[in-house]
Amino acid sequence: MQEFLNIASSIKHDIEALSKSVAEMKKTHVQVLTEEWINGDTVMSILKIGIRKLQMHRDNGTLPFSKIDGLIYYRTSDVEALLNKCYTKR
């Protein structure tokens, strides 16, 4: 009987450890996907620029992007970084 209780206790401990590991993985996975992505129209509206200027920022590497099936997306953090980089205080 004692051996059974020891095995059950060990299994319970392993399940709790596994549960904690899964919870940590979920947090990490969610954090990766919480970055907001926006399309070019939204970026042009935020920056008050046209399509050619947006293309120029892509071409010269000042605004990173992701292209999926011909659609281009930008991270909001990259747009904000561009604004901060060009910020001048007078």
| The pLDDT of residue 33 is above 70 | no
User: Do residues 22 and 60 share a domain?
Assistant: no
Query: How far is it, in rounded angstroms, from Cα 10 to Cα 51?
Result: 62
User: Do residues 23 and 43 share a domain?
Assistant: no
User: Do residues 76 and 43 share a domain?
Assistant: yes
Answer yes or no: is 90 within a domain: no
> Total structural domains in the chain?
2
Query: How far is it, in rounded angstroms, from Cα 81 to Cα 21?
Result: 34
What is the span of the domain harbouring residue 57? Answer: 37-85
Q: Looking up tokens 């920056």, which residue turns up?
A: 47
User: Cα 34 vs. chain centroid, distance in angstroms?
Assistant: 5
User: Do residues 63 and 25 share a domain?
Assistant: no
| The pLDDT of residue 32 is above 70 | no
pLDDT at 37: 94
Answer yes or no: is 3 within a domain: yes
Query: How far is it, in rounded angstroms, from Cα 62 to Cα 43?
Result: 13
User: Do residues 7 and 42 share a domain?
Assistant: no
Note whether 74 and 65 are within 8 A (CB): yes
Please classify residue 26 by burial: count the beta carbons closer than 10 Å to its beta carbon, then call 0-12 exposed, 13-18 middle and 19+ buried. Answer: exposed
pLDDT in tens, 36-71: 999 999 999 999 999 999 999 999 999 999 999 999
